[in-house]
Amino acid sequence: MRIAFPSLPGARAVLAAALAVTALAGGAASAAYPDRPITLVVGFPPGGGGDLYGRLIATALGKTIGQTVIVENRPGAGGNIAASQVAKAAPDGYTVLLAMSGNLAVSPALKPKTLPYKVPDDFAPVGLILEAPHGLFVATQSRFKTAQEVIKASREKELTFASTGTGAAAHIGMETIKELGHLKLLHVPYKGSGPAITDMIGGQVDMFFATASPLVPQVQQGQLRVLALTGSQRSPVLPDVPTFKELGIDMTMTQWYGLAAPAGTPPEVLKVLSDNLSRALKDPSVRNTIRKDAAMERDLPLDKFRQYIVEDIANYRKAATPDLLKQIGQ
């Protein structure tokens, strides 16, 4: 049965008014974002790794956006558990991920078939937060005083390097340096920086390659020495430490952190998140906290951050030599 709607001017006016009210209500709902706390899912245990950066941004973002940002720690699988949770979350802007090299670049590049999510398809990038260089560390009593000495020695005889895990960003980084520099290096994986550093100091391994920021205090206190850093330029905090690029090995990949929401999050919500992240990164206290450990804030919003992720995945795929893929079981 067909229902005929009246075509009277008065009826049309009532319908138009109803549609206008609906549109206004929708606009008000959108404009009200966020009207409740936001959850930031972090793939590290409390106090470990990027958790410190996650809490720093959660606090700063909460101030600029006008709502509490709650940190939810979901450690495991190199951050992939946290990424999987956010990929499946409601795309409403109330669940976001502390994205990082590991879960949004390394894993998608080297083992995409084993992941329960796709990058960038399952995410809506909000913005980059910071880049932290990887560093080549030795014990203070090591016979190696410069990176040039390590390079020369490892071209003549195989040396060992420790990392915090097979297939992690730092491991891939050092394998890339090995390939580009034609070095003889044997990877020795550990389950954390503590055991790796202990064995390095004890002489069981020659060096340790890891994200530099957590270890900068130990360098400044004279407990460790850092011989070279990744990145395109020297760190202001460690001005005497050369980059690998300066040494003739063009490996500039860094450990990075950013924010990402589930795919399908409304553009206007992403814009609110991105704008407020940019404001948070301009806070002098936030910048000082990031920079004091040799990292550098980097405001790269929305589509620019998406392109950055795509390019980083491509860089890690280039690094995936047959030997490396065999090491990580791919």
Which range, of 4-13, 155-164, 262-271, 302-311, averages the lowest pLDDT? 4-13
| pLDDT tens digits, one per residue of 216-246 | 999 999 999 999 999 999 999 999 999 999 9
C-alpha 311, offset from chain centre: 14
| Domain 38-132+254-327: CATH class, spelled out | alpha beta
Distance CA 144, CA 207 (A): 9
Q: Is pLDDT of 136 > 90?
A: yes
Cβ-based neighbour number of residue 68 at 10 Å: 14
Q: Is pLDDT of 280 > 70?
A: yes
Q: What are phi and psi of 213, to 5 degrees?
A: -50, -50
Buried b / exposed e over 188-226, threshold 16 CB at 10 Å, is bebeebeebbebbbeeebbbbbbbbbbbbebbeeeebbb
Determine how β-strand 255-262 pairs with β-strand 123-132: antiparallel
pLDDT given at position 8: 43
Q: Which residue intervals of 182-292 are DSSP H helices? A: 193-201, 216-220, 267-281, 284-291
Q: Residue 48 — very low, low, confident or very high, per pLDDT cuts 50/70/90? A: confident
Distance CA 304, CA 309 (A): 9
Distance CA 266, CA 153 (A): 54
Specify the CATH number of the domain 134-229: 3.40.190.10
Q: Is pLDDT of 116 > 50?
A: yes
Provide the whole-model pTM. 0.85
Q: Is pLDDT of 4 > 90?
A: no
CATH code 3.40.190.150 region(s) in the chain: 38-132+254-327
Average pLDDT over residues 176-200: 93
pLDDT given at position 272: 98
Q: Which residue intervals of 157-231 are DSSP H helices? A: 169-181, 193-201, 216-220
pLDDT given at position 77: 86
| pLDDT tens digits, one per residue of 78-112 | 899 999 999 999 999 999 999 999 999 999 999 89
CATH code 3.40.190.10 region(s) in the chain: 134-229
The mean pLDDT value of the chain amounts to: 89
